[in-house]
């Protein structure tokens, strides 16, 4: 009984206790628990600001990404309120629904949104509360963050006890000046000036520098880098005016202050186009240093790129305003409290300050005292000075003359351009390590600057961080190295005229057998490369550096894409010198890299003029006959046979792979094909002799170039008007051949007449014709503008910003002499590019289907920066559409997500893709490569639909299988199975194969080229986890099933024959595919050169068009022969590219091309006097041409007759004897070729040829072999296993076991007995 | 070598099943569950194990020797069990199910994993664990049912282990010499 009572008592006590605990818990939960606020999508800086300004103990903050909250596995539990920062946030419908569902459960959700932002989720808030919260969070400051959180607590958890006070929001102070001290605000610059005077911070003669750091900087705490910069600028003698203002008011305040310079830190543009024009007109330079939202450790890693968001906001957009000096001045690092705060990078702030000060100092310094270093580019040997489309020596000479007129000290400049040219070749040469004889000759006759080892090492220590110098020593040994060395001293080839120093940029690497890059290994330049840059800074004490022409190699030393540190060579060697770079407007893709990686201000120069190719006259009778035959419907057989005879005679049937049976005429379809092909050759835009800086186009060139730029648009406009009037159909409008026949001649006539007799009043002209006049004026003004712009820049002035690219594609690049900018990669592919890309992708599939009867499994693209910028992502769009994925945009037009196009809608298989990128593209559009990888992942998971296979899925599995077979773990193989974007190793820029292919004596089999390509281009650029990852065999696994390769082409200034990078990338890719799959892929060019007709063209056809319109066209040759050594150099380059194609993809070439080259150049069948011309202006190019032909014969690419060989060899030997061996790599670096050439010569010539070659080689040939390459030491000999020891162990174990067994058996026997 | 290795794996698994056939149902179930659990836990590790590393083990004398030692120990224990069981001695050995089965079955699953690109790893781990449990439990029960004579199973177990020993010696020798 008692036990029962006790039990009941205990139960009651237990229940009471439980009830009390429950009540206490409930009370705590309802009234006492701190309010938990979740902050979503805040930047690290915002997180720090919000957290550090929260002083309420009853508020607990948590920060998460949107995916963690709204993603499929996201959770919003354990939260009382949510604050979403919507800037840069994209949520899909499902994610928004998830948030709203949480709101339905009672969660308070507030989105801090602006009008143009995508996400706006508000739950359980009245309109008044929402507006109040907006006031708090839109005006970020210490006060508002502190009180905004308290206010939100009050709304979300009204019953919770604790400090419930909150002050009302304070609107952010705008349109005011401020200074370092918190709370010091000034309505205008006069008030701030008074304050600075009062504080003793005003410099009476100091220039005023407007400093714009951001809207909320005056009020927030995370501003250490801003304060540091203000202090340092003040200490340097500037009067700093920190401003916070936006929009029109900001522009007004800047105009009122009229500062000497503007330093602009915020994201976005400084002002509209008119304001930027005013800024540059007033000669107010704009500087754009930026804080990086990455920790210090990531920043100093050269392989870690600056994130795409920062790149766009801090670099791309300021470039549009003509900003310069994009130094990274702060990084974001974790504080002891766990929050990320900006940390000033003191060394970078010093560097920026020095750059800023030196640039500003140019304004006050007299020209006669300015010391200007000018670097030019030249390949080793007697080759011409190089610059894309520019005759360098006359350009440089004209530029120096202009400097002299401007008062610069250019004493000693020769009186004639010819003498100047001779001096440059004599004193400013570049040497290859393969020609020690030539080196010795140079050192005997030239007058280089000699640097002792001690001096050189001292300068290196003062300039480089120790690790960087150690890289050089590890790769090339101790100073002075082996090139241009005498005793302990190192020669710097250069010429000095007064205060002007001219120097050739040396070769960035030595050693000819190191084409295979080693992943992760440093690629330090040799001592001979560092020496001139150290000398110009420390010895010559240059005030400014100019690189003259497109392009050098410093900007392409591997490393960070922008905002470099001292771990990047391109930054170290330029340092803080004001740097200007003459760059062709036609190559914006590479120009942007130079601009960003060497703090350069680009000054564009014109492309060579476009000239008549003369091919229309040559083909006129053929074209007439074809048109008549087509009009007759093929009924006139004799006419058909005549056309065929003519086509066969011209060799056109070979290019189109048509039959040559002269008794059977072409079919109508073949005639149309021939017509289009001949029309294209006739209308091919070819460039004439290279451009000379400061020398305007001739009147004829002005007309022909204006026609090249404006005739197509006018013809299209005329046709469009006819289409709108119902006179032609849309199909005809889109038919290029139809436009060429029916509208182009009229358009050309109209423009020509206009240019010859321009009206005084242009107002009545049609817009297209007005544009033609403007274009002509732009071309005319360009040559003057280019020199004026450089002179102004050297005076510390600004250079107007401009887009870049081929003038034909973008006439807005005119006039040149401006600072090129890029595009916002985040908005690509834009809508036009998307439509073009879709159409071209479908065209690719249709053409492949027609040729092969089935769809391709995989299409491999080449992405280049120039094409990407010019088309704003058309090739990217092609790749997306092949995968069956389309881009989704936010309200600002940025492509932020992807949508899978349903299989039924696609109506075809999903085609797998692979993309090889140049380093330039990777640097400017890294985010697009990540997006492409996302697209591959999306497509790989798509189910098969509509009966169409998914080649992306099957290809992904095949790639995974191959990787598994290669020995990767299943997880790693899975991870890498979706990698489709590949590029150069070690954040390099090219395949690294050009030199190797041209050093053809060092390889015997093209397989070696393919292996090298697969290695050098094997770095994956897919996602953050695998950025720049190199996995042996990954690229070859990804290349499986490739059926098609596509190369973009967006400029009329180059083609597959005239640009070596085309065979380097597309030829190399084709060769690699052939090696992997055993078959050669179909090759196309995505031709973006005509804005109104972007199309696909077969590679063989594209090569044939350029070949016939240029290299085999006597009119073109004659045009080029009007130029100097630069124009002549191009012939040698064309020949080398023919060789390159033969080595990588010979099928694009006409098998008879070498015979035709032989007739044109060796026999000079057109009587152009080409031998005399080449021997006179550039014998090195002539030697290169003959050497290429002979090397091609040696390699079996040219099936030359003995007579052809002997004639070519005799010509080669004669020019070598007359001018000495040019010692370009092709001529001097190939012993097998030398022997082959000697074998073709009669005895007498052979002796003199041998003597000439020996003269350049016969000095201490062991020099190069002493160079110790890092790669040589990478493979240590493996240890042999100690077999004997293992055998003893195994034997011993076996013996023991047998002994135990024997004992046991014996024991059992005994037991049984 | 691959064939030899496959044979070793097969024999190891057979040895495990035979050994488990001496257990009552509940013990056999526990042993099968433990093996399945181990497999389930090991699959994520296996997915991160490069096939090249596994292949390099089979060509590494050091690794093969280590393996051979493990096999020898296992064989020794199994042989001891075979000889002691009739006499009712060394009862502790009854509770030892055979640990060699674990690496053996992991190797088998890894081979399957490698040969099946695209397979979902998470799902694979569950299926592998389930199949392991069913085979381990069902296999041992099936053997018990098919060969009810304990002596015969003991002889089988001994012979299999003897063969296992010879194979491991042969495999190690093939690598070493």
| B81-113: pLDDT as tens digits | 998 888 877 778 888 888 999 999 999 999 999
CA-based nearest distance A1011→chain B, Å: 21
Q: Is the C-alpha dihedral spanning A967, A971, A972, A975 positive or negative? A: positive
Contact call for residues A901 and A885 (beta carbons, < 8 A) = yes
Alpha carbons within 13 angstroms on the beta-carbon side of residue A1144 total 31
Inspect the interface and report whether the beta carbons of B68 and A1293 lie closer than 8 Å.
yes
Of A960, A966, A1304, the CB nearest to B118: A960
- Gyration radius of chain A over CA positions: 35
Q: Does A1291 touch chain B (CB under 8 A)?
A: no
Do A447 and A589 share a structural domain? yes
**Number of structural domains chain A divides into:** 7
Q: Do A1286 and B50 touch (CB under 8 A)?
A: no
To the nearest whole Å, the CA of B59 is away from the closest chain A CA by 11
Question: Would you call A1286 and B72 a contact, using CB atoms and an 8 Å cutoff?
Answer: no
Could you tell me which of A72, A80, A138, A88 has the C-alpha nearest to residue A109? Answer: A80
Q: How far does B20 lie from chain A, in Å, by closest CA?
A: 24
Q: Which chain B residues are Cβ-neighbours of A1312 within 8 angstroms?
A: none
Q: Report the distance separating Cα B58 and Cα B49, nearest Å.
A: 14
B80 interfaces chain A, CB cutoff of 8 Å = no
Residue ranges with strand state E in A570-696: 579-584, 600-605, 610-611, 686-687
* Contact between A675 and A631 (Cβ < 8 Å): no
Of B60, B68, B121, the CB nearest to A1290: B68
What is the spatial distance between Cα B157 and Cα B160, in angstroms, rounded to a whole number? 5
Q: For B76, which residue in chain A has the nearest alpha carbon? A: A1297
* CA separation for the pair A947, A908 (Å, rounded): 9
CA angle A908, A911, A916 (to 5 degrees): 155
Contact A802, A818 (CB under 8 A): yes
Structural contact between residues A611 and A617, judged by C-beta atoms closer than 8 angstroms: no
pLDDT score for A72: 64
Let me know whether A625 and A591 are in one domain: no
CB A873 within 8 A of CB A886: no
Same domain, residue pair A570 and A642: no
CATH of the domain at A237: 3.40.50
Residues A117 and A182 in one domain: no
Nearest CA to A1174 out of A1124, A1221, A1108 is that of: A1124
Encoded tokens for A817: 């002499």
- Partner residue facing A957 (CB), from B49, B117, B173: B117
Give how far B114 is from chain A: nearest CA, Å. 6
Burial of A19 (0-12, 13-18, 19+ CB in 10 A): exposed
The DSSP string of A295-327 is -HHHHT-TTSPPPHHHIIIIIIHHHHTT-B---
Q: Residue A1083 pairs with which residues in a beta bridge?
A: A1045
What is the chain A residue with the closest CA to B64?
A1286
Residues A661 and A532 in one domain: no
Q: In what order do the strands lie in the sheet with A239-244?
A: A185-186, A176-178, A239-244, A208-212, A261-264, A286-287
Last residue of a domain, one of A308, A340, A362: A362
3-state secondary structure at position A602: strand
Tokens 């029109």 belong to which residue?
A: A248
B52 touches chain A (CB under 8 A): yes
- Structural domain includes residue A800: no
A969–B51 CB contact, under 8 Å = yes
Closest residue by Cα to residue A868 from A313, A304, A389, A316? A316
Q: What is the pLDDT of residues B16-68, one digit of tens each?
A: 999 999 999 999 999 999 999 999 999 999 999 988 888 888 778 888 888 88
**A73 vs chain B: nearest CA distance in angstroms?**
16
Domain housing A1165? 1113-1241
Mutation choice for B interface testing from A950, A953, A971, A1296 by most B CBs within 10 A: A971
Paired strand residues for A547 = A375, A581
Optimal mutation site among A969, A1291, A1308, interface B, most CBs of chain B within 10 A: A969
DSSP alpha helices (H): ranges in A799-908? 831-852, 865-871, 874-883, 903-906
Q: A1140 with A1015, same domain?
A: no
Q: Does B46 touch chain A (CB under 8 A)?
A: yes
Task: Name, in order, each residue with C-beta under 8 angstroms of A419's C-beta and a sequence gap of 6 or more.
Answer: none
> Is A429 found in the same domain as A549?
yes
DSSP bridge partners of A502 = A374, A495
CA torsion through residues A443, A449, A455, A460, sign: negative
Domain endpoint, select from A605, A637, A657: A605
In a domain? residue A1287: yes
Residues in chain A: 1313
**Is A1290–B46 a contact, with Cβ atoms under 8 angstroms apart?**
no
In a domain, residue A1009? The reply is yes
Contact A718, A743 (CB under 8 A): yes
> Using H for helix, E for strand and C for coil, what is the string for A1023-1037?
CHHHEEEECCCHHHH
**Alpha-helix runs per DSSP H in A1031-1166:** 1034-1039, 1060-1062, 1068-1077, 1099-1106, 1114-1120, 1125-1144, 1153-1157
Do the beta carbons of residue A364 and residue A543 sit within 8 Å? no
Supply φ then ψ for residue A678, to 5 degrees: -65, -40
Q: How confident is the model over A951-986, as pLDDT tens digits?
A: 999 999 999 999 999 999 999 999 999 999 999 987
The nearest alpha carbon in chain A to B167 belongs to: A1294
Domain boundary among A1216, A1241, A1266: A1241
Q: Is the residue at A316 inside a domain? A: yes
Indicate whether A1021 belongs to any domain: yes
Residues of chain A with pLDDT under 70: 1-5, 70-75, 114-118, 215-221, 434, 510-522, 634, 1258-1313
Contact B114 A960 (CB under 8 A): no
- Regarding whether A1030 and A1075 lie in a shared domain, the answer is yes
- Does an H or E element contain B8, and which? helix B2-20
Chain A's closest residue to B116, CA to CA, is: A961
Whether residues A1065 and A1170 share a domain: the answer is no
- B51 close to A (CB below 8 A): yes
Angstrom CA distances, A113 to A85, A117, A1258, stand at 7, 6, 74
Cβ-defined contact of A1290 to B55 (cutoff 8 Å): no
DSSP string, A1196-1236: TSS---HHHHHHHHHHHHHHHHHH-----HHHHS-HHHHHH
A390 lies in a domain? yes
User: What pLDDT, on the 0 to 100 scale, is given for residue A1272?
Assistant: 32
In A, minimum Cα distance to B170 occurs at: A1290
Largest CA distance in chain A: 136
Under 8 Å between Cβ of A1053 and A607: yes
Cβ under 8 Å to A: B residues 146-165? 165
Query: Does the predicted TM-score (pTM) go above 0.90?
Result: no
Inform me whether the C-beta atom of residue A649 falls under 8 Å from chain B C-beta atoms.
Answer: no
Q: Give the span between the Cα atoms of A1013 and A30, in whole angstroms.
A: 67
What is residue A219's predicted lDDT score, i.e. its pLDDT? 61
d(CA A144, CA A165): 13
Residues A437 and A354 in one domain: no
Distance, in Å, from the CA atom of B72 to the CA atom of B164, rounded to the nearest integer, reads: 9
Strand partners, A485: A490
**CB contact set of A155 (below 8 Å; sequence gap of 6+):** A81, A108, A125, A129, A133
CA angle A395, A399, A402 (to 5 degrees): 145
Q: Is residue A1148 part of a domain?
A: yes
Q: Write out the H or E segment, with its range, that includes residue A185.
A: strand A185-186
CA-to-CA distance for A1187 and A1192, rounded, in angstroms? Answer: 8
A145 and A288 belong to one structural domain: no
Quote the CA–CA distance of A884 and A881 in Å, as a whole number.
5
Provide the shortest C-alpha distance from residue A1281 to chain B (in Å). 8
Quick check: B61 and A1286 CB within 8 A? yes
d(CA A975, CA A809): 40
CA distances from A1093 to A107, A683, A713 (A): 55, 14, 11
Look up the ipTM and state it.
0.89
Give Cα B55 to chain centroid, integer Å: 19
| Angstrom distances, CA of residue A642 to CA of A621, A647, A657, A658, B102 | 11, 9, 18, 15, 82
Nearest to B173 among A964, A971, A1290 (CB): A1290
Q: Would the CB atoms of B121 and A956 count as touching at under 8 Å?
A: no
How far apart are the C-alpha atoms of A883 and A932, rounded to whole Å?
A: 10
Let me know if residue A331 belongs to a domain.
Answer: yes
Residue A722 contacts residue A747 (beta carbons within 8 Å): no
Q: Using only C-alpha atoms, what is the Rg of chain B? A: 16
**In a shared domain, residues A351 and A444:** no
Q: Report d(CA A288, CA A991) in Å as an integer.
A: 32
| Per-position DSSP letters for B70-121, written without gaps between them | HHHHHHHHHHHHHHHTTTT--GGGGG---TTHHHHHHHHHHHHHHHSTT--H
User: Exposure string (b/e) for A777-804, b if CB count within 10 Å is 16 or more?
Assistant: ebbbbbbebbbbbbbbbbebbbbbbbbb
């Amino acid at each position: 009984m008692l036990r029962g009572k006790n039990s009941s008592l205990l139960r009651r006590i237990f229940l009471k206790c439980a009830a009390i605990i429950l009540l206490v818990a409930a009370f705590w939960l309802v009234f006492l628990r701190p309010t938990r606020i979740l902050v979503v999508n805040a930047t690290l800086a915002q997180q720090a600001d919000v957290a550090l300004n929260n002083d309420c103990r009853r508020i607990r903050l948590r920060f998460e990404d949107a995916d963690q909250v709204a993603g499929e596995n996201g959770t919003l539990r354990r939260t009382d309120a949510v604050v979403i920062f919507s800037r840069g946030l994209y949520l899909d419908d499902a994610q928004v629904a998830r948030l709203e569902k949480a709101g339905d459960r009672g969660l308070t959700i507030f989105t801090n949104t602006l009008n143009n932002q995508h996400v706006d989720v508000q739950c359980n808030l009245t309109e008044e509360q929402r507006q109040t919260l907006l006031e708090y969070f839109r005006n970020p400051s210490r006060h508002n963050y502190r009180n905004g959180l308290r206010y939100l607590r009050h709304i979300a958890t009204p019953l919770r006890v604790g400090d419930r006070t909150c002050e009302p929001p304070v609107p952010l102070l705008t349109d005011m000046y401020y200074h370092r001290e918190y709370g010091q605000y000034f309505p205008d610059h006069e008030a701030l000036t008074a304050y600075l005077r009062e504080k003793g911070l005003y410099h009476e003669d100091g220039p005023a520098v407007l400093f714009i750091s951001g809207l909320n900087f005056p009020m927030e705490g995370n501003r250490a880098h801003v304060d540091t910069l203000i202090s340092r600028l003040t200490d340097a003698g500037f009067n700093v005016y920190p401003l916070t203002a936006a929009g029109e008011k900001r522009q007004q305040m800047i105009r009122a202050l009229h500062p000497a310079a503007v330093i602009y830190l915020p994201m976005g543009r400084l002002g509209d186009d008119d304001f930027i024009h005013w800024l540059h007109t007033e000669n107010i330079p704009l500087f754009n240093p930026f804080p990086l939202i990455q920790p210090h450790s990531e920043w100093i890693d050269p392989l870690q790129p600056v994130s795409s968001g920062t790149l766009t906001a801090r670099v791309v957009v300021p470039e549009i305003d003509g900003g310069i000096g994009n130094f990274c001045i702060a990084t974001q690092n974790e504080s002891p409290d766990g929050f990320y705060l900006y940390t000033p990078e003191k060394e970078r702030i010093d560097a920026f300050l020095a750059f800023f000060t030196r640039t500003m100092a140019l304004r006050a310094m007299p020209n006669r005292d300015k010391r200007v270093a000018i670097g030019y580019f030249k390949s080793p040997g007697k080759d011409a000075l190089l610059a894309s489309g520019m005759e360098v020596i006359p350009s440089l000479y004209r530029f120096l003359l202009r400097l002299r007129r401007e008062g610069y000290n250019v004493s000693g400049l020769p009186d004639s351009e010819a003498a100047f040219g001779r001096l440059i070749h004599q004193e400013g040469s570049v040497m290859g390590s393969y020609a020690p004889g030539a080196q010795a000759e140079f050192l005997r006759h030239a007058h280089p600057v000699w640097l002792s080892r001690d001096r050189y090492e001292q300068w290196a220590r003062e300039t480089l961080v120790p690790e960087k110098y150690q890289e050089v020593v590890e790769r090339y040994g101790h100073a002075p190295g082996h090139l241009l060395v005498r005793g302990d001293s190192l020669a710097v080839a250069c010429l000095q005229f007064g205060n002007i120093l001219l120097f050739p940029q040396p070769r960035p690497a030595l050693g000819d057998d190191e084409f295979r890059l080693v992943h992760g290994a440093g690629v330090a330049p040799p001592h001979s490369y560092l020496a001139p840059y150290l000398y110009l800074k420390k010895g010559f004490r240059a005030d400014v550096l100019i690189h003259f022409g497109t392009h050098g190699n410093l900007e392409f030393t591997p490393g960070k894409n922008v905002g470099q540190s001292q771990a990047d060579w391109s930054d170290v060697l330029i340092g803080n010198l004001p740097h200007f770079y003459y760059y062709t407007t036609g190559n914006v893709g590479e120009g942007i890299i130079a601009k960003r990686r060497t703090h350069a201000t680009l000054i564009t120069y014109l492309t060579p003029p476009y000239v008549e190719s003369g091919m229309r006259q040559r083909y006129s009778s053929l074209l007439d006959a074809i048109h008549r035959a087509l009009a007759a419907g093929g009924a006139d057989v004799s006419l058909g046979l005549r056309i065929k005879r003519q086509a066969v005679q011209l060799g056109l049937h070979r290019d189109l792979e048509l039959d040559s049976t002269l008794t059977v005429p072409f079919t109508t379809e073949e005639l149309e094909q021939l017509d289009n092909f001949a029309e294209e050759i006739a209308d091919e835009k070819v460039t004439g002799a290279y451009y000379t800086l400061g020398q305007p186009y001739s009147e004829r060139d002005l007309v022909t170039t204006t026609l090249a730029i404006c005739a197509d648009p006018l013809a299209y406009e005329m046709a469009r008007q006819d289409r709108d009037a119902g006179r032609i159909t849309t199909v005809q409008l889109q038919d290029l051949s139809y436009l060429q026949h029916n509208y182009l001649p009229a358009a050309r006539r109209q423009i020509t007449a206009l240019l010859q007799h321009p009206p005084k009043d242009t107002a009545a002209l049609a817009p297209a014709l007005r544009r033609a006049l403007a274009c002509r004026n732009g071309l005319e003004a360009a040559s003057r503008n280019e020199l004026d712009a450089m002179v102004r820049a050297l005076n510390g002035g600004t250079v107007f910003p401009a887009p870049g690219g081929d003038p034909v594609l973008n006439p807005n690049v005119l006039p040149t002499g401006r600072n090129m900018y890029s595009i916002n990669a985040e908005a690509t592919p834009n809508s036009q590019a998307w439509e073009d890309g879709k159409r071209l992708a479908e065209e690719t599939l249709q053409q492949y289907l027609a040729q092969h009867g089935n769809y391709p499994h995989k299409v491999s693209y080449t992405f280049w920066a120039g094409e990407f910028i010019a088309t704003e992502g058309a090739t990217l769009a092609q790749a997306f559409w092949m995968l069956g994925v389309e881009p989704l945009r936010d309200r600002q037009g940025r492509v932020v997500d992807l949508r899978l196009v349903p299989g039924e809608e696609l109506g075809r298989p999903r085609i797998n893709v692979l993309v090889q990128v140049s380093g330039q593209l990777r640097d400017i559009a890294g985010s697009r490569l990540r997006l492409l990888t996302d697209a591959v992942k999306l497509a790989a998971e798509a189910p098969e639909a509509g009966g169409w296979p998914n080649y992306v899925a099957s290809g992904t599995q095949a790639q995974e299988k191959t990787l598994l077979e290669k020995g990767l773990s299943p997880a790693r193989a899975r991870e890498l199975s979706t990698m489709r974007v590949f590029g150069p190793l070690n954040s390099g820029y090219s395949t690294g194969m050009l030199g190797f292919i041209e050093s053809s004596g060092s390889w015997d089999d093209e397989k070696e080229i393919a292996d090298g390509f697969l290695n050098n281009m094997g770095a994956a650029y897919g996602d953050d986890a695998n950025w720049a990852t190199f996995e042996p065999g990954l690229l070859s696994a990804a290349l499986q099933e490739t059926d098609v390769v596509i190369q973009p082409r967006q400029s009329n200034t180059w083609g597959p024959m005239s640009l070596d990078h085309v065979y380097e990338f597309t030829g190399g890719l084709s060769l690699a595919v052939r090696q992997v799959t055993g078959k050669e892929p179909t090759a196309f060019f995505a031709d973006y050169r005509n804005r109104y007709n972007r199309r696909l063209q077969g590679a063989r056809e594209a090569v044939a068009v350029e070949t016939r319109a240029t290299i085999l066209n006597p009119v073109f040759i004659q045009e080029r022969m009007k130029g100097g050594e630069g124009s002549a150099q191009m012939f040698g380059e064309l020949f080398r590219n023919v060789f390159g194609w033969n080595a990588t993809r010979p099928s694009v070439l006409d098998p008879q091309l070498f015979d035709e080259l032989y007739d044109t150049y060796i026999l000079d069948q057109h009587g152009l006097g080409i031998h005399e011309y080449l021997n006179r202006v550039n014998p090195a190019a002539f030697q290169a041409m003959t050497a290429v032909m002979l090397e091609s014969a040696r390699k079996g690419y040219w099936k030359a007759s003995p007579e052809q060989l002997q004639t070519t060899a005799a010509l080669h030997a004669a020019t070598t004897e007359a001018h000495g061996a040019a010692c370009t790599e092709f001529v001097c670096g190939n012993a097998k070729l030398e022997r082959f050439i000697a074998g073709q010569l009669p005895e007498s010539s052979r002796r003199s040829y041998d003597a000439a070659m020996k003269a350049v080689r016969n000095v201490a040939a062991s020099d190069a072999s002493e160079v110790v390459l890092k790669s040589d030491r990478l493979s240590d000999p493996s240890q042999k296993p100690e077999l004997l020891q293992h055998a003893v162990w195994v034997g011993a174990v076996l013996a023991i076991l047998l002994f135990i067994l024997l004992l046991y058996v014996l024991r059992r026997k005994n037991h049984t007995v | 070598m691959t064939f030899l290795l496959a044979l070793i794996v097969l024999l190891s698994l057979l040895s495990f099943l035979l050994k488990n056939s001496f257990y009552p149902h509940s013990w056999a179930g526990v042993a099968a569950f433990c093996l399945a659990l181990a497999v389930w836990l090991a699959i994520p590790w296996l997915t991160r194990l490069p096939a090249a590393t596994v292949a390099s083990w089979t060509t590494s004398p050091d690794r093969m020797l280590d393996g051979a030692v493990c096999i020898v120990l296992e064989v020794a224990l199994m042989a001891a069990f075979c000889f002691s069981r009739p006499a009712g001695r060394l009862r502790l050995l009854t509770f030892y199910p055979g640990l060699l089965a674990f690496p053996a079955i992991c190797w088998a699953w890894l081979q399957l994993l490698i040969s099946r690109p695209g397979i979902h790893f998470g799902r694979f781990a569950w299926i592998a664990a389930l199949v392991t449990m069913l085979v381990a439990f069902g296999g041992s029960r099936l053997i018990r049912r098919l060969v009810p004579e304990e002596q015969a199973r003991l002889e089988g177990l001994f012979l299999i282990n003897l063969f296992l020993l010879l194979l491991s010696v042969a495999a190690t020798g093939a690598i070493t010499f």
